[in-house]
Chain A
Amino acid sequence: MSSASSSLVMLVGLLVTAGCERENHHFSEVPPTATPSASALVVSELQPGPATIAPKIDAPYDDNAYAVSEGKTLFTSMNCSGCHFEGGGGIGPALMDDEWIYGSEPQQIFASIAEGRPNGMPAWEYRLSTQQIWELVSFVRSLSSLNPKGARGGRDDHMMLKPPEVSTPKGKPKTASALPGTQH
């Protein structure tokens, strides 16, 4: 076998395995929680002393379309949409824009959902499994196109209220400038 054809086979193999994750159905597994390292949860840009880099936990399902769609189902059934609506916000802040009060990193969103936030966000730790929270994290990230395009939703099953996640332009996450006390 020539080296060209073997690299072709390897390339195809790589592409195939890479493509697997998109539709892989994770029915029951226990993904890592965001809690092992407290430093993963910092929401302040300012750290005393020489700057340290927060270790990151990657969202296990960011590139998994099935998990993102499960997250979307949960987003409605667990009443997240009651406050954040389809991402535009209302009682809670908008999630499809580029302002992130408590950070846009997967572990920060995980912490916001699990632990709650002081201005009205309930703590869901005892209501949702770790896996469900991660599915929600990836769906929330897909609202402002922070996850790979292939895993984002392409259409809604309901009344057309906003462009589908796959068509939402990617926003560069910014920290919110307003005080938490006057805003969620």
Chain B
Amino acid sequence: MRRSRRLHGVATCVVLVSCVVACHGPQNVLDPAGSPNRIVNRLFWSMLVVSATVWIGVVGAALWGALTRRRTTREDLEPVVDLPNDDKQRQTRLVGALIAGTALILLLFLVFDFTVGRALAEHPNRALTIEIIGHQWWWEIQYVDADPSKIVVDANELHIPAGEPVQVTLSSRDVIHSFWVPNIIGKRDLIPGYTSSIFLDADRPGTYRAQCAEFCGVEHAKMALTVIVHSRADFTTWLAAQRAPATEPNDSSTKEGQRIFLAGPCSSCHSITGTAAYGTIGPDLTHLASRKTIGAGALANTRGNLAGWVVDPQSLKPGVRMPSNQLAPKDLLALLDYLESLK
């Protein structure tokens, strides 16, 4: 008995702590960092408060009803033929008012919900369009521009400016994936052969974690997307840097690394703008070294992780499309030097 009470206490603590913790963080629906999540949160909290109030009222009334008329007399059990007129009217009015109140609340919810739905679907001025394409198991991100030569192709990191509505179009090259940035926007599926469109709008600079939210195969869990919200100035700088072709190798090691990259199997699947590598099976590596993670959030982008990833990605993310590469140690080091130079 005491043990179970202690267990109860621990469980309560865990729930309370996780509730508090859950209210903040880079992957949290209850910590809105931008619309549409803000709009949805407003709806959520309004509904929660109103519904909770109603629920408490109803439960309270039920309890009150259950707890007060305890005593039953003989008269009580006799069929009620007729109530006094006053009581009857009062009761009818009360029931009517409650029904009307409920209907009104539901109607208000309906209107609120509808306006939220509309607000999610449309935004008057969308300055920037970003195309997100799902692949097994990584994200291809294209920063669209009316001038095609200014289009930027990136992977597994979504960079957006704070305070600006961004149009996002979603599609998939293989199976159904789902785009979900808990802090900023709810789930939207990426469907092969179909392009859907959403907008999002981040409040303030910060880094958030997004996750594929539709089971898409063996490495579904390791299909994360880092969302980085910049200030407008930082975003402009970042975009300009991404538009530049890859850094030219400038010493013997990086030159050798580039040769290995282009001559070996790497260039069959990856692109590096400015070189003869135009593969589209794997992520574009033009600015690989500027990314925070590799393998779609599987590992931090460090030299050691990169080495492990190049040599044996199958043990780090089993089933990933990238095969294992047997490289001589000096070739691997040169390749790593080159990859790390791709700022």
Q: Do chains A and B touch in the complex (CB under 8 A)?
A: yes
When the two chains form the complex, which single residue of B192, B265, B281 contacts A128, counting CB atoms closer than 8 Å? B265
Is the Cβ of B319 less than 8 Å from the Cβ of A27? yes
**Whole-angstrom distance between the Cβ of A74 and the nearest chain B Cβ:** 9
The answer to whether B196 has its CB under 8 Å from any CB of chain A is no
* Contact A78 B174, beta carbon cutoff 8 Å: no
Q: Is the CB–CB distance between B319 and A25 below 8 Å?
A: yes
- Provide the residues of chain A in CB contact with B324, threshold 8 Å: 28, 129
Q: How far is the CA of A96 from the CA of B60 in the complex (A)?
A: 75
A25 and B314 within 8 A (CB): no
Contacts A25-B218, A157-B174 known; A129 to B281 CB distance under 8 Å? no
Closest 4 CB pairs of A and B: A28-B314, A27-B318, A27-B314, A129-B323
Q: Of residues 170 to 194 in B, which have CB atoms within 8 Å of A's CB atoms?
A: 174, 192
Given contacts A28-B315, A126-B264, contact A132 B269 (CB under 8 A): no
Chain B residues within an 8 Å CB radius of A28: 312, 314-315, 318, 323-324
The answer to whether A126 touches B265 (Cβ under 8 A) is yes
Can you give 14 contacting A-B residue pairs, CB < 8 Å? A25-B318, A25-B319, A27-B314, A28-B314, A28-B315, A28-B324, A126-B265, A127-B264, A127-B265, A128-B323, A129-B324, A129-B325, A132-B323, A157-B192
Main secondary structure of the interface of B (DSSP, over half): loop
The interface size bin for chain A is 10 to 19
Given contacts A126-B263, A128-B323, A157-B174, 20 further A-B pairs with CB under 8 A are: A25-B319, A27-B314, A27-B315, A28-B312, A28-B315, A28-B318, A28-B324, A73-B321, A77-B269, A78-B268, A126-B265, A127-B265, A127-B268, A128-B265, A129-B265, A129-B323, A129-B324, A129-B325, A131-B323, A157-B192
Number of cross-chain contacts by CB at 8 Å: 34
Tell me the complex Cα distance, A77–B321, Å: 10
- The answer to whether B281 touches A77, judged by C-beta atoms less than 8 angstroms apart, is yes
B174, B192, B269, B324: residue with the most chain A Cβ atoms closer than 10 Å: B324
Which A-chain residue is minimally distant from B282 (CB atoms)? A77
Q: Taking the nearest CB of chain A, how far is it from the CB of B315, in angstroms?
A: 7
Within A119-137, which residues are at the interface with B (CB < 8 Å)? 126-129, 131-132
Contacts of B323 on A, CB cut-off 8 Å? 28, 128-129, 131-132
Q: How large is the interface on B (under 10, 10 to 19, 20 to 34, 35 or more residues)?
A: 10 to 19
Please give the distance in Å from A72's CB to the nearest CB on chain B.
12
Enumerate B235-270 residues with CB–CB distance to A below 8 Å. Answer: 263-265, 268-269
Which residues on the A side are within 8 Å of B325 (C-beta)? 129
Name which residue of chain B comes closest to A79, CB basis: B268
CB distance from B174 to the nearest CB of A (A): 7
Q: Mark A99-135, 1 if CB is under 8 A from B, else 0.
A: 0000000000000000000000000001111011000
Question: Within the assembled complex, what's the spacing in Å between the Cα atoms of A73 and B175?
Answer: 13
Q: CB within 8 Å of B: which of A66-101?
A: 73, 77-78
The residue on A at minimum CB distance from B193 is A158
Interface centre among B174, B263, B268 (most CB of A within 10 A): B268
B140 to chain A, nearest CB (A): 14
Which residues of chain A are near B315, meaning CB under 8 Å?
27-28
Interface centre among A25, A27, A77, A78 (most CB of B within 10 A): A27
Which chain A positions have C-beta within 8 A of B218?
Answer: 25
A143 shortest CB reach to chain B, Å: 21
C-alpha spacing A127/B264, complex, angstroms: 6
Chain B residues, Cβ within 8 Å of A127: 264-265, 268
Closest to B268 in A: A127
* Complex CA distance for A131 and B268, rounded to whole angstroms: 16
**Min C-beta distance of B257 to chain A, whole Å:** 17
The answer for the CA separation of A28 and B325 in the assembled complex, in Å, is: 10
- Give B213 Cβ to nearest chain A Cβ, in Å: 21
Residue of A nearest to B266 (CB): A127
Distance in angstroms between the alpha carbons of A156 and B314 in the assembled complex: 26
Flag B113-157 by CB within 8 Å of A: 1 or 0 each: 000000000000000000000000000000000000000000000
B136, closest chain A residue (CB): A73
Contacts of B281 in A (CB 8 A): 77
Report the separation of the CA atoms of residues A110 and B219 in the bound assembly, to the nearest whole angstrom: 29
Chain B residues near A78 (CB, 8 Å)? 268
Q: In the assembled complex, which residues on chain A have CB atoms less than 8 Å from the CB atom of B269? A: 77
Q: Which residues of the partner chain A approach B265 to less than 8 Å between Cβ atoms?
A: 126-129
